[in-house]
A and B are shown apart, each in its own frame.
Chain A
Amino acid sequence: MIKFIQQLINGTSIGFVYALIAIGYSLIYSILSFSNFAHSTFIIAGAYTGFFLLTAVSLPLPFSLLGAIVGGILIAVFAEKVAYRPIRERGNPTLYFIIASMGMSIFGENIVIATIGPKFRSYPPILSVTAYQIGGISISVLDIMAAVVGSIFLLMLMYVVNKTRQGMAIRAAAFDLETVGLMGVNTNQLISLVFLVAGALAGLAGFFLGMKYTVFPQLGNLTMKAYVAAVFGGLGSLPGAVIGSVFLGIIETIIAGYFSSTLRDIFVFALLILVLLVRPSGLMGAKREDKV
C-alpha cells in the first residue's frame, strides 16, 4: 500500500510537468489546428537556460526558474514569427505547419548538439536530494515544487482563458479564428500571446524535467508523452490536457514501479493507439464547446 501511494505521488508530480507541456500543445492546436512538434524546442530552451543560470551564472533558484520561463517564451514567440506567421500569411495548408514544426524540432535538437554538446548534464543538486519522510513515504521537495508551481501556473491560465477579454478571444479563436479578426482583434497578436503562454509553460516544464532527470538535447522528446496525454484528455481541451497528463503520469509510474520501466513507453503508446481507435475525441474533447 505504501508503495502504491508512493507511486501515486511520483506519478502525480510528473503528471503536472506533462500537463504544463500538454496545455501549451493543446492551446496551439485549438487555435491553429496543427500539432506543434516544435514544442520540444521550447522545452529544451527552458531546460538549458535554467541550467546555465544555475551553474554558470549561479543565480538563485527562483530567478533561474524565471529565466527558464523567459527562455521558453523567447524561442516560442520567435518560432511563431519566423516560421508559422509567413505560412499563415501565404494561406498555405495546415500540413505546412506540421512540416515546419518537425523541421524546427530537429533543428533545435541539433543546434544544441552542435553548440553545447550532446552530453547529459546534471542540474546542481539544490532541491532534488531533500525529501520529506512521512510514514515510510518519501516526497521530494522537487516533486512538491513541481506540483505547486505547476498548479499555480495552470490556475492562472484558467483564469486568463475564462475571465479576461484576451482569454475570451482565445476561446473564440479556437472556434473560428478568421471571425475573431472581424471583431477587431489583431489575430497575429493573439497568436503571439498563445505562443507566449505555451512557451512559458514549456520553459517551466523544461526546468523541472532538467532538475528531475538531467539536461540533454533529446529532452524535448518527452513532448511525445504530453502529446499522448493531450490526445487522451481530448486534444484542444484544456481541462482534458491536465486530467490526461496527471492520469498518464500515474499510470506510467505504476507500470514502471510494479512491472518494468522498459514496458512503460510501450504501454504509453499502446494507450495512444487504443484511445485513437476507441474514443478519438478523448475524455473531454467530445463536445465542440469544450474545445478550449
Chain B
Amino acid sequence: MMLQVKDLSVFYGKIQALDKLSMEIHQGEIISMIGANGAGKSTLLKAIAGLRLQMNGSITFEGEPLVSKTHETVKRGIALVPEGRHIFGNLTVYENLVMGSYLQKDKKVFKEDLESVYELFPRLFERQKQTGSTLSGGEQQMLAIGRGLMSKPKLLLLDEPSLGLAPKLVSEIFKKFEKINKMGLTILLVEQNARQALALSHRAYVLQTGRIIKQGLGKDLLADPEVQEAYLGAKQKAAAV
C-alpha cells in the first residue's frame, strides 16, 4: 500500500471538516474523490500534503507516517497541485518550473524533467519566458501541473484541476492525467466534475460532510443510481425537462 489514511479528523475551529475518514491508495492507481462543495475533499489533500491543520488520526506513506510540514512531504515524494492553481504570477513560466524542482540538486535530472514537462505541455515551452500572470486559465493549470511534476513525485495530488476551465480544455487535461499515470505516477484527484473523474479513475470515493459514504471502481460508481442522482445530475436534468 502506498498511502493509508486512518481515522483522520480535521477541524477548523469548531467546525469539523473530516470525520474519522479512512482511505488507501495503491501504487499506480488513479483514485478520485468526488463530492459536493464543502464535503472536505480539499481538506483531505491539504492534510496529506502537510499543511498545518488541526487534526488527529494518521497518514502513512510507504509505511512511514507523514509529518505536518509541506517541505518534508515534498521530499518524501508527494506533490500537491493546489486548487486555484496558485502559480507564481511574478515569476516566468520557466522560473515557476524551477521552483517546482527546488529540492533537485542535480542539474542533469532537472533538465530531463524540464524536457518531459515541456513535452507533456508544449504550450509551456512556447511561453517559458512569459510571467505566470499573463497566462490564460488553462495554461496556468498546465503550469501548476507541470510545476508539481518537477519535484519528481511518486504521488500527485490534484485539487479541482477542472475548475474554471472550458469543457474542451478539461478533456484535454484529463487525457494528460492518463499519460502522467502511465509514466508511473500515482494520482489522487479531487473533483466536482464527477463524471469525468469517475471515467478516468480506477477506484473512487464519494465524500459527504467529512465522511466517505461510498467507494468502489470508477465505472461501477458511474453506473450507481444514487451517485448518478446526487453527483452526475441525472435526475435534475430529467426534472428540468
Determine if chain A interacts with chain B. yes
Does A183 lie within 8 Å of B86, measured CB to CB?
no
Verify if A288 is at the interface (C-beta below 8 Å from B): yes
17 contacts between A and B (CB under 8 A): A169-B99, A171-B88, A172-B99, A174-B90, A175-B88, A179-B86, A179-B88, A181-B51, A182-B74, A183-B74, A184-B71, A184-B74, A184-B75, A185-B71, A186-B71, A289-B89, A289-B133
Contacting residue for B100 out of A89, A91, A183, A186, CB 8 A: A183
B contact residues around A168 at 8 Å (CB): 91, 95, 98-99
Does B88 lie within 8 Å of A182, measured CB to CB?
no
Measured CA separation A42–B11 after assembly (Å):
38
A130 to chain B, nearest CB (A): 45
Does B71 lie within 8 Å of A288, measured CB to CB?
no
B52 to chain A, nearest CB (A): 7
What is the interface size of chain B, counting residues whose CB is below 8 A from a CB of the partner?
A: 26
Does B71 lie within 8 Å of A171, measured CB to CB?
no
A contact residues around B82 at 8 Å (CB): 179, 182
Contacts between the two chains (Cβ within 8 Å), count: 71
**Max chain B Cβ within 10 angstroms of own Cβ: one of A178, A179, A185:** A179
The verdict on A183 contacting B51 (CB below 8 Å), with A171-B91, A176-B86, A291-B90 known, is: no
For chain A, what secondary structure do more than half of its interface residues adopt (helix, strand, loop), or is it mixed?
Answer: helix
Binding site for B on A (CB under 8 A): 89, 91, 165, 168-169, 171-172, 174-176, 178-187, 288-292
Verify if B80 is at the interface (C-beta below 8 Å from A): yes
Measured CA separation A165–B80 after assembly (Å):
21
Does B80 lie within 8 Å of A91, measured CB to CB?
no
Verify if B9 is at the interface (C-beta below 8 Å from A): no
Does A184 lie within 8 Å of B103, measured CB to CB?
yes
In the complex, per-residue mask of B61-83: 1 if CB is within 8 Å of any chain A CB, else 0: 00000000111001100011010
Does A89 lie within 8 Å of B71, measured CB to CB?
no
A264 to chain B, nearest CB (A): 36
Does B52 lie within 8 Å of A91, measured CB to CB?
yes
The verdict on A187 contacting B71 (CB below 8 Å), with A89-B52, A289-B131, A292-B90 known, is: yes
B11 to chain A, nearest CB (A): 13
New contact pairs (18) apart from A169-B102, A291-B90, CB-CB < 8 Å: A165-B98, A168-B99, A172-B88, A175-B88, A176-B86, A180-B99, A182-B74, A182-B80, A183-B99, A183-B102, A183-B151, A184-B70, A184-B151, A185-B71, A185-B102, A289-B89, A290-B90, A292-B90
A289 to chain B, nearest CB (A): 4
A contact residues around B133 at 8 Å (CB): 288-289
B contact residues around A288 at 8 Å (CB): 89-90, 133
The verdict on A289 contacting B98 (CB below 8 Å), with A89-B52, A178-B51 known, is: no
In the complex, per-residue mask of B33-56: 1 if CB is within 8 Å of any chain A CB, else 0: 000000000000000010110000
Verify if B147 is at the interface (C-beta below 8 Å from A): yes
Measured CA separation A186–B67 after assembly (Å):
13
B199 to chain A, nearest CB (A): 28
Does B71 lie within 8 Å of A175, measured CB to CB?
no
B contact residues around A169 at 8 Å (CB): 99, 102
Measured CA separation A168–B89 after assembly (Å):
13
Does A171 lie within 8 Å of B147, measured CB to CB?
no
A contact residues around B80 at 8 Å (CB): 182
B contact residues around A184 at 8 Å (CB): 70-71, 74-75, 102-103, 151
| Cβ-closest 8 pairs across A and B | A184-B74, A181-B70, A184-B103, A289-B90, A179-B86, A172-B88, A186-B71, A183-B102
Measured CA separation A291–B89 after assembly (Å):
10
A contact residues around B98 at 8 Å (CB): 165, 168
A contact residues around B151 at 8 Å (CB): 183-184
Measured CA separation A187–B86 after assembly (Å):
16
